[in-house]
Structures are given as C-alpha cells and as structure tokens.
Amino acid sequence: MLAADFSVFNVALPSIGANVGISLSSVEWIATAFALPTAGFTLFFGRVADLVGRRRLFSTALLLLIVASLAGGLAHTAWLLLAARVIQGLATAATIPSAFALLVAAFPEGPLRERALGLNGSLLTAGFTTGALLGGVLTSALSWRWAFLFNVPVALLILLAAPKVLAESRGEEGARLDTPGAVTVTGSLLALVFGIVTEGDHNWTSSVGWICIAVGLALGAVFFALERRSSQPLVPLGVLARPTVALGNLGGFTVFAMETSIVFVLTLYLQRILHYSALDAGFMLGGPGAAAFISGMVAPRTLLRFGPRTVLAVGLMLQGLANIALLSVGASSSIVPWLLAITIVSFFVHVHALVGFTVTATSGLPDSEQGLATSLLTMTQQVAIASGIPVIGTIATAGAASALLAHIRLAFAVDAGITVAVAAVIGVGLLTVAAPAGGLDSQPLAGSEQAG
C-alpha cells in the first residue's frame, strides 16, 4: 500500500497542485512534505517500536495514516493538504520499521524468513510500478482526491486484522531511548534530505541546499560522537561495523536510489520524447511490475541456493548491466518492445537484489536488535528514494528541451555506472568475509550433503 502510494502521488501531483492552488513550480513540495518526515524519523521510530512494542506502534501509525489520508482527500487549501502529507510521512516513518521488525521477528532466520521477505520484496516493487498505473486511473476516472483516499479502506482493513494475526514483540527489557542520539540523527537526516531535494530542484546551485547538506553532515558527526559515549546508544556502533549491515545497507541504498530513478527517467522519456499519456506510461510499466512480482516468488529459492550476499551482489550487478542497455533509446516508438524487454529484466533482477539486501542487512542479529536492523534498512530505503531522483533526475533535465534525449541517455549511463561500481564493491566486501553463524550464506548449497 505505501509503495503504491509513492507512485500514485508522482502521477497525480500536477492535478493535486492545480486544484488546491499550488503552482507547477512549487508542486514538488507536496512530495517533499512527505519525504522529509519519512526519511528523517524512520530510525527514531524504529527504536520507539523496540521500546513500546512493535505491534502497538504499527497500529497507532496506521490509525494516524487513516486520519491524515482523510484530511488530505478532503482538503481544499494548500496548507491543509501539505499538513496532511507531513502527517502521512510521520505515519509511514513509524509504520514501515515496525512492520519490518514484526515480519522478521515472526520467522526464524532461514528459508521461512527468506520466503516472507521475498513476498514482501515482490509486493514492494509491484506497488511502485502498479501505483503509476493506479495513479493514472484514479486521476483520470475519479479525482486526484483518491490519491489520498485509497489508503483509507486498505489501512482500515490492516488495522482491524493486526491484533488477530500479529504477535506483539519488542526489544530488550529495561532499555531506554537515547534522546540526544535521536535528536541529532533526526536533525541530520532532515537537513540532508531537504538539502538534496532543494539542490535537485535548483540544478545543484542553491546556497540554501548546500548549507542544509553541511548542517546535516555536521549533525551526523555529532551523532556518531554521542553514540560512542552513550551507555544505551540509539545505534550501537558495533552493529554498524558488521559487514553485512554496513555493506548490505550500501547495496540497499543503491538498489532503491538507482531503480526508482530509472522509473522516473523512463517515465520522462515515455511522456516527453515518445509523447505517451500518463495512463499509457503507467500501462507500459505493467509488464515490469509483473516481472517484479514473479521475481519475489522465485527469490527465496535463489537465496537458498546461493545465499543472500551473493544474490545481492550479483542482482545489483545485473540491474546495472540491464540499465546500460537503456542507452539505446531513441526518438522512435519502434524502440518500445526492446525497452519493455530491458525493463522486465531490470525489474526482475532488481527484486532479487532487494530481497538479498533485506536478508543480508538483518541476518546474524538477535531478535532484540531486529528493530534496529529493520529501522536502519527502512531508513536506507527512504533516504535512497528521496535522494536518488533529485540526483539522476537533475542530469536528465539539466539541458535545453532540444537536448532532452541526450541528457536522458546520460542519466541512464550515470545510473548504470554507479550501480555496477557499487555492486563490485559489495561483491568484494561481502563475499570475502565470514558469513554470520546460522545464516543462509553459512549453509551448504542445496544438494551438497548428498554430493558429499
């Protein structure tokens, strides 16, 4: 639901802005109002979930999401709509890490957990892609208000079912919230994301954006200094020092930042170069969305055969190589069948890398640290989504209209190059260290016992 919401709003933004008095040049603030709290508060709420109970926070956040979605769907003024979007962002920042922690804690490390995370990965990517189609349908057939309102019945059903199907879980007894750490890391993330989004809107020439980025980095340094001295740190530095956590999250950042950027640039290409409507562009992503869903079903078997770290590194490499093929795009619609084939392959391996990331970044950790691991994972995902498009999107749109196709090709090239380079780093870093005890990477390949 939350993944689909992201794409629905991308399609509906022009209609939303026009109907509540937000100019086209300022309409990105509807997206920014959501991205800032989502990225900034995820780590904080992940820790709160450990302390107060993951199911309790999950249910409270869903209720808040319902209220915010109703307020946004009924809004007639810009300030009320933006306030609703901020509250939606806060609700999402609380919902996602608690949901991930509940999912991971519900299954012991091994094939069952990988199967659950595989389904989660397929639904996540399918939500991103089908959300573009849903946004076009809702905006065209009904109203932009349904970009908000479609969350209400879905979230209500989940809220009613949660007490019956989810067992409560939490972190260690007697733990407390590291308030200085929470304040500094939240401030750091808010400043960084705001700075990156601002620079993306101004082609990286805004002094305000660069100041925010500098403030974010400074607060990040203060946060790490505080965590070294804290008796109960928000993020124990020993956890961050684990290769599976550090490199796994680097891989996850690249998986999300680069592939969501590809979807943005691809949509730009379809609408501005091939002159597809928003609805037609959404239908174009239906095939890749189906491939993503199938990939999530297949990924657990792949993980069982090769291990999550191998799947992450190889999947990310194949994602980058598939995106290199997008450099062949041209001004003729005859490229569409080839483009569809490329994106189907890209989305298939993308979900394999995504599932490899979620398993790698949460493996080898006790249940008491799963809230932290999943909040780090979720923070990585949200910051990547918020920052990938401003960077790669700026490359695609930096030139004159007559040079748009050339800049789109350049954006595809930069995206693919970054993906391949990070895949190589992760391959070397993760595949040359010992696997965590009991993890899939430490288990023999299927059939090896018989072979011996």
The residue ranges of every structural domain in the chain are 2-167+234-432, 178-233
Report yes or no: 27 and 9 within 8 Å, Cβ to Cβ.
no
164-173, 220-229, 310-319, 400-409, range with the lowest pLDDT: 164-173
Q: What is the DSSP letter of 277?
A: -
Q: Quote the CA–CA distance of 1 and 378 in Å, as a whole number.
A: 15
Report yes or no: 262 and 321 within 8 Å, Cβ to Cβ.
no
Q: What is the average per-residue pLDDT within 231-250?
A: 83
Choice between 112 and 2, residue whose per-residue pLDDT is larger:
112
Q: What is the average per-residue pLDDT within 68-97?
A: 88
User: Quick one: pLDDT band at residue 354, thresholds 50, 70, 90?
Assistant: confident
What pLDDT score was predicted for residue 175? 66
- Note the helical H segments in 53-171: 54-74, 78-106, 111-137, 146-149, 151-165
Residue 195 identity: G
pLDDT at 24 > cutoff 60: no
The vertex-321 CA angle with 317 and 322, nearest 5°, equals 115
| Direct distance between the N- and C-terminal alpha carbons of the chain, in angstroms, rounded to an integer | 46
What pLDDT score was predicted for residue 61? 93
Query: Which tens digit of pLDDT belongs to each residue from 187-198?
Result: 998 898 888 888
pLDDT at 449 > cutoff 50: no
Q: Quote the CA–CA distance of 118 and 359 in Å, as a whole number.
A: 9
Report yes or no: 225 and 209 within 8 Å, Cβ to Cβ.
no
68-77, 150-159, 274-283, range with the lowest pLDDT: 274-283
What pLDDT score was predicted for residue 13? 61
Q: What is the average per-residue pLDDT within 396-417?
A: 84
What pLDDT score was predicted for residue 384? 87
What pLDDT score was predicted for residue 417? 93
pLDDT at 5 > cutoff 80: no
Q: What is the average per-residue pLDDT within 248-262?
A: 88
Q: What is the average per-residue pLDDT within 331-338?
A: 84
- Portion of the chain with pLDDT greater than 70, in percent: 77
What pLDDT score was predicted for residue 254? 93
Question: Which residue, chain included where needed, has tokens 């923070």?
Answer: 379
What pLDDT score was predicted for residue 172? 62
What pLDDT score was predicted for residue 9? 65
63-67, 96-100, 293-297, 367-371, range with the lowest pLDDT: 367-371
Q: What is the average per-residue pLDDT within 354-362?
A: 84
What pLDDT score was predicted for residue 222? 94
Q: Quote the CA–CA distance of 266 and 13 in Å, as a whole number.
A: 17
Average pLDDT, the chain: 79
Query: Which tens digit of pLDDT belongs to each residue from 102-140?
Result: 877 676 666 666 666 666 665 666 666 566 666 666 666
pLDDT at 85 > cutoff 70: yes
Which superfamily does CATH assign the domain made up of 2-167+234-432 to?
A: MFS general substrate transporter like domains (1.20.1250.20)
